[in-house]
Structure 1
Amino acid sequence: GYGGKDFYDVNCNNTSCPVNINLLCPQELRITAPDGGVVGCKSACLAFNTDEYYCRGQYGSPDTCKPSYYSQIFKNACPQAYSYAYDDRTSTFTYVGDNYDITFCP
């Protein structure tokens, strides 16, 4: 946390993303196992390393960095997830308190 506050992606409510993101992952973002199965999905900024997807350079502000085709895929599947660099209006909330649980599901 920072100054007694923790930043996370729900408004003090339970949240989940019960979607297998690997199944939605576009071919160009996929990380695959030797057998061809999808084991992960890169962000567009990692996959393409461009200013537009990294929201740097001329795209380095909330006014110029907009959701991309790729971030929208994930946002549509998991509306509360933080899907691109300035996705603050729908996905950044604060929690003031001492205790909460984070559970990673298989």
Structure 2
Amino acid sequence: MDLGRTGCNFDSSGRGSCITGNCGGVLSCAAGGKPPATLAEYTLGKGGSPDFYNISLVDGFNVPMSFGPVGSSYHVMSCAADINAKCPSELKVDGCCVSACIKFGTAQYCCTLPLTPSTCGPTDYSRFFKGHCPDAYSYAYEKSSTFTCHVRLDYQVTFCP
């Protein structure tokens, strides 16, 4: 996983922090960062298994991003819209746009019990994100935004495409 990070300041030993996408005060993230953060997610296949990749706005949006295979005919996803400028006021955090799940923490927005993957659906907030970045995941269990490659390729993440 790669994530967008903003407002970062690190010393020569790699200790510091970021306003968004902070990873426990370290330069090299071992896991996800503090929301809101635009994420490039991928699972690289082994043997004959395909690679899976996506851009996720499930935790919100902080920077535009594109992500995908390099030099191939496979789909490169892009989320180049300035969502921060259009973010609903109730989702604005540190000049960025946090998801409704992070902001409100309810089953409706987080797709948690009593909802299931088959009963969880989009909300007005997830439609807002999807409307600006059609390639990106906008809520948990969304089925339309994962892409696959059946050939091992190199991938590229571009921030602010």
Q: Tell me which interval the TM-score lies in, with the shorter structure as reference length.
A: 0.7 to 0.9
Alignment of 1:25-104 (within 5 A): 25-32=87-94, 39-61=95-117, 63-88=118-143, 90-96=144-150, 97-104=152-159
Q: Within 2, Cα distance between the matches of 1:81 and 1:58?
A: 25
**2:75–2:147: 8 Å Cα contact kept in structure 1?**
no
Between structures 1 and 2, the one with greater helix share: 1
Post-superposition offset of 1:53: 0.9
Q: Count the aligned residue pairs.
A: 98
What are the ranges of 5 or more consecutive residues in structure 2 without an aligned counterpart?
A: 1-42, 55-67
> Which amino acid letter does the alignment assign opposite residue 52 of structure 2?
F
Structure 1, unpaired ranges of 5+? 33-38
1:17: which partner in 2?
A: 79
The structure with more strand, counted as a fraction of residues: 2
CA RMSD, 1 decimal: 2.0
Secondary structure of the 1:16 match is strand
Which of structure 1's runs of 4+ aligned residues deviate more than 3 A? none
Q: Normalising to structure 2: TM-score of the pair?
A: 0.55
User: TM-score, with normalisation over the residues of structure 1?
Assistant: 0.79
Amino acid at match of 1:101: Q
